[in-house]
Amino acid sequence: MSSSSIRVRFAPSPTGMFHVGGARSALFNWAFAEQSGGAFVLRIEDTDAARNRPEWTEGIISALAWIGIHSDAPGFEGPYFQSSYDAQHRAAAARLQAEGRAYHCTCTRDDVKARTGSEHMGYDGHCRDLGLTEGAVRFRTPDEGVTVVEDVVRGTVEFPNDAMEDFVIVRGDGSPLFILANVADDLEMRITHVVRAEEHLSNTPKQQLLWLALGAQPPVWAHVPVIVNEQRKKLSKRRDKVALESYRDEGYLAEAMVNYLMLLGWAPAGGQEIMPWAEMVPQFRLEDVNSSPAFFDEKKLRAFNGEYIRALPLDDFIARCAPWVEQIPGYDPKVFAGVAELAQTRITVLSEITANVDFLFLNEPAEDEASWTKAMKDPAAQILADAEQAYRDAPWEAGELKTRLEAVGAAYGLKLGKAQAPVRVAVTGRTIGLPLFESLEALGRERTLARIAAARARLA
């Protein structure tokens, strides 16, 4: 039970993958509800049967849970499904009609065009006073004056009423439109604050008129800014990586994602950006949300993620890597535990763990051709032969392995870095990766020597 009368909602339509912009709206609502001890209602707006799919509803619910918004969390209510409130939507339309605020209309688009001489004039009010009993239902908008929307983010926005046609609230087949269903549900669910994407600002004067016509006080409106890509274009699923799931699957931490998304249009005071949820919540103010477009900077998100990864306690880091490392054939948790700390400082998304440690488990690590060509230049063959020799009886410990390879390189006038390269490629398949000697220690003598021997054979 919530301890205040504040009630917000997140009302996604399950028509595609769950968008990071949706996640940001959900988080703003969630932060506001949590801070005020209010309720957060999840309402799935599933009335567009042709475009909805159950898996998208499931995707929304699981993605929200991933960022901490789930049915066990205090304040959470739902999910409710808009399609189950069809009767209430129709009742709201009937009430508006009974009170003369809405009327039936049988005009087709062509009828309107024929009368007004234009496609763009909008509906001319032809059926307003005809007393028809069938057809679509239109809301009677005021002819004059302005509808003033007070938006917490955008300030006072005025919409001249003469530019607002008598809009349709129920289709000719009796099915209610979004504009009505959305208001009827918000009213029924006693929503006090509507925090949603800017694209809905243009619906807001109509919705405000509906609230008033239904005898209720409109909610507080807050339209949060669009999210744009590097080219300052609105983030789109055709152009950009927008699905929250794809970030999860790539190994972004939910905490980093939440932190980053909260900064799309809002910033804590004092310029500190990396901040855990619990510290952001008490600071969050709808009034402080910025109205200008927010840039989704994937590089910055990666940097955040790297910081969050490095801040994890080691055993947590190991646990979070499990979904990736457990896929590697031959995976051995003990061996992984030996190098995990080294890997933790080097990766920025969890999926990168695989390429960093797979050489420890695979029988034959994938050989990167470019690395091979670069590292196996003269005197690589001699280095490998000498290293094999030096490592045969070495105490198997990183410091000792380093000292021995240093000596091998010195005999050819090579610094350690140069002497390391062929050994690294022979053993790991790549020129970059975890610190070499710790890697060798973790891999063990037998496999290290076998790989050096195999590389020598290939060079011979």
Residues taking part in catalysis: 237
Which of 10-18, 87-95, 424-432, 436-444 is the region at the interface with ligand GLU (rule: CB under 6 A)? 10-18
Nearest approach, Cβ of residue 203 and ligand GLU (Å):
8
Structure tokens at 426: 């022979």
Q: Where are the alpha helices (DSSP H) in 218-313?
A: 244-250, 254-262, 277-283, 298-310
Query: Considering the rule CB under 6 A, would residue 89 count as an interface residue with ligand GLU?
Result: no
Q: Closer to ligand GLU by CB, 11 or 149: give it.
A: 11
Instruction: Using alpha carbons, list the distances in angstroms from residue 349 to 64, 166, 312, 357.
Output: 20, 51, 13, 14
Whether 156 and 144 have beta carbons less than 8 Å apart is answered as: no
Q: Closer to ligand GLU by CB, 7 or 196: give it.
A: 196
Give the one residue of 7, 8, 12, 26 binding ligand GLU; rule: CB under 6 A.
12
Alpha-carbon span 429 to 413, nearest angstrom: 25
Q: Closer to ligand GLU by CB, 34 or 185: give it.
A: 185
Nearest approach, Cβ of residue 140 and ligand GLU (Å):
22
Query: Considering the rule CB under 6 A, would residue 200 count as an interface residue with ligand GLU?
Result: yes
Q: Where are the alpha helices (DSSP H) in 298-435?
A: 298-310, 314-325, 333-344, 353-357, 369-375, 380-392, 398-410, 416-428
Give the one residue of 20, 24, 30, 45 binding ligand GLU; rule: CB under 6 A.
45
Name the strand (E) or helix (H) holding 77: strand 76-81
Alpha-carbon span 179 to 399, nearest angstrom: 70
Nearest approach, Cβ of residue 239 and ligand GLU (Å):
19
Nearest approach, Cβ of residue 179 and ligand GLU (Å):
10
Which of 5-13, 83-91, 307-315, 346-354 is the region at the interface with ligand GLU (rule: CB under 6 A)? 5-13
Which of 11-19, 126-134, 145-153, 419-427 is the region at the interface with ligand GLU (rule: CB under 6 A)? 11-19
Identity of residue 207: Q
Whether 441 and 397 have beta carbons less than 8 Å apart is answered as: yes
Structure tokens at 321: 């890597």
Q: Which of 425, 434, 433, 420 is nearest to 456 (CA)?
A: 425
Whether 33 and 43 have beta carbons less than 8 Å apart is answered as: no
Residues 6+ apart with CB under 8 A from 48: 13, 15, 178
Query: Considering the rule CB under 6 A, would residue 47 count as an interface residue with ligand GLU?
Result: no
Alpha-carbon span 34 to 36, nearest angstrom: 5
Using CB under 6 A, which residues numbered 179 to 198 contact ligand GLU?
Answer: 182, 196
Where do we find the tokens 């309720």? 39
Query: Considering the rule CB under 6 A, would residue 13 count as an interface residue with ligand GLU?
Result: yes
Q: Residues in contact with ligand GLU, total (CB under 6 A)?
A: 7
Q: Closer to ligand GLU by CB, 224 or 355: give it.
A: 224
Query: Considering the rule CB under 6 A, would residue 147 count as an interface residue with ligand GLU?
Result: no
Nearest approach, Cβ of residue 186 and ligand GLU (Å):
8
The strand pairing partners of 195, in sequence order, are 222
Residues 6+ apart with CB under 8 A from 130: 103
Nearest approach, Cβ of residue 234 and ligand GLU (Å):
14
Which of 6-14, 27-35, 239-247, 326-334 is the region at the interface with ligand GLU (rule: CB under 6 A)? 6-14
Query: Considering the rule CB under 6 A, would residue 11 count as an interface residue with ligand GLU?
Result: yes
Neighbours of 47 (CB within 10 A): 20
Query: Considering the rule CB under 6 A, would residue 235 count as an interface residue with ligand GLU?
Result: no
Which of 8-16, 290-298, 375-383, 390-398 is the region at the interface with ligand GLU (rule: CB under 6 A)? 8-16
The strand pairing partners of 450, in sequence order, are none
Nearest approach, Cβ of residue 268 and ligand GLU (Å):
25
Q: Which of 431, 427, 432 is nearest to 447 (CA)?
A: 427
Q: Please report, as ranges, the residues that interact with ligand GLU according to CB under 6 A.
A: 11-13, 45, 182, 196, 200
